[in-house]
Amino acid sequence: MQPVPEHIDELIACCLAGDASAAQLEELEQWKLADPLHAKYYDQCALIFSSATASVKDYNTDAAWKKVQGKMQDSSVKQLPVPVSFEWKQVLRIAAVLLMVAGIGWWINNLQSPAELVAVISEDKVLHDTLSDGSTIDLNKKSSLSYSSDFGKKHRRVQLKGEAFFNVRHDDALPFVVETKGVLIKDIGTAFNVFAPEDSSIVRVSVEEGTVHFFVEGSTGVMLEKGQAAEYNSATGVITRLANMNPAESAYRNGILRFNNAHLSEVAVALQKLYGVPVVMESGLEDCLITVTFTNESLETVLNIIAETLNLQYVREENRILLKGSGCRN
C-alpha cells in the first residue's frame, strides 16, 4: 500500500475521537472502500486506539503524558500543547491525534506492544462462534469480526464488517461495544442484530432482547429496546429510528421469512438480502400487500407462492428477477 496521506490520518483521528463531521465521515468511508488495504489500515488504527483508550482510566495521565513528551523530544513528531489538567474526553482526543500524527509504528515501537488482532471471517456460510466472555455471535456470509487478543480483560470492543447477531453476556464493568462505519452499539443486557454491508453507508441495528445504546462517539444517540430498530447513515452522520424491524432480519440465522401485511417492495428487499439475487418489479406493484411465512424454502418456491398469491408472474433475467403483472390479488 502507498504511504497514507497525513490528511487521511487526521480524518481517522477525528473519527476515532468522535469529532468528525458528516462530510469527513463520508470522505473517510470512500477512502476505505477504494482499496481493501485502506480498510485494513483503518481497522488497525481503530484496534490500537481501542486498546490504548480502553484502560487509560487506570493510568496516571499526567505521568503518562510526561512519558509521551519525553519520548517525543528528539523526534520529528508534531507536538501538541496540553494543559496540566485535562478532561477524560480530551485524553481520548489527544490519544487519537498522537496515534495518527506520530504514526502507528512509532506508537508500537516506543510506547507499548499492542495485543494481536483476532479476526473471525465467514465466507460462503453463516458462522456461529462463542467469544471468550461467553457471548455468542452469528456472523452472516461474507462478513468479518475483529478484536484484540486481550478482549474480555480490559475491554470488550469489536469491529464488524457485514452483518452479525450478538447474544451478549452482560457485564457492567466491561460493556460490550460493536464498532462499525464510525458508529457504536453498546450493550445493556442484550441480543441484537447489526447490519453494516461494506458497499453501503447504512448501519441498521435491531434489538431482540434487552436494550442497546446506538450512537456516534461524543453524541447522545438513541436507546433501543426489544422490538425496536434504527438506522445510521455514515454519509450524513444521522441516526433515524425505524417504524418496524426488518422482517428478514433473522432469516440468515433461522431461514424464516415472516411477512405480515408487508408491501411487495419490502419483500423484494428481504429476498435480495437472503438469496443474494436482486428482485425488481414493474411500476405500480410496490404497494401490493402480502401476509405469508416461508421456512427454509428455495427461492423458486418463494417466488411461485408470491406470484400465485398476488396474481403476478416473475421472469429471470441476466442477473436479477423481475416481478410483473396486471395487479395484485389480496
Residue 269: its pLDDT value, please? Answer: 86
C-alpha cell, 10: 487526521
Residue 39: its pLDDT value, please? Answer: 82
Do 103 and 173 fall into the same domain?
Answer: no
Residue 275: its pLDDT value, please? Answer: 87
Residue 329 lies in a domain: no
Do 175 and 292 fall into the same domain?
Answer: no
Cα–Cα distance between 298 and 224 in angstroms, integer? 33
Q: Three-state DSSP class for 314?
A: strand
Cα–Cα distance between 213 and 222 in angstroms, integer? 6
Do 202 and 124 fall into the same domain?
Answer: yes
Cα–Cα distance between 255 and 19 in angstroms, integer? 40
Radius of gyration of the chain (CA): 23
Do 148 and 94 fall into the same domain?
Answer: no
Cα–Cα distance between 45 and 31 in angstroms, integer? 14
Domain that holds residue 269: 251-324
Residue 225: its pLDDT value, please? Answer: 94
Among candidate residues 88, 110, 132, the one where a domain is terminated: 110
Q: Which of 228, 233, 234, 223 is nearest to 249 (CA)?
A: 228
Residue 147: φ, ψ to 5°: -165, 165
Residue 330 lies in a domain: no
CA dihedral 95, 96, 98, 103 (to 10 degrees): 140
Residue 50: its pLDDT value, please? Answer: 59
Contact between 310 and 329 (Cβ < 8 Å): yes
Residue 323: its pLDDT value, please? Answer: 94
Do 204 and 307 fall into the same domain?
Answer: no
Residue 182: its pLDDT value, please? Answer: 87
Cα–Cα distance between 242 and 234 in angstroms, integer? 16
Residue 58: its pLDDT value, please? Answer: 44
Cα–Cα distance between 292 and 265 in angstroms, integer? 14
Residues of the chain with confidence (pLDDT) below 50: 54-94, 96-113, 329-330
Residue 198 lies in a domain: yes
Do 105 and 137 fall into the same domain?
Answer: no
CB-based burial label for 45 (10 Å; 0-12, 13-18, 19+): buried
8-state DSSP, 57: G
Among candidate residues 242, 265, 286, the one where a domain is terminated: 242
Q: What is the CATH number of the domain that holds 221?
A: 2.60.120.1440
Q: What is the CATH number of the domain that holds 297?
A: 3.55.50.30
Residue 69: its pLDDT value, please? Answer: 45
Among candidate residues 242, 272, 291, the one where a domain is terminated: 242
- Give the number of domains in the chain: 3
Residue 2: its pLDDT value, please? Answer: 65
Do 230 and 259 fall into the same domain?
Answer: no
Residue 327: its pLDDT value, please? Answer: 67
Contacts of residue 131, Cβ cutoff 8 Å, sequence gap at least 6 = 137, 147, 151, 152
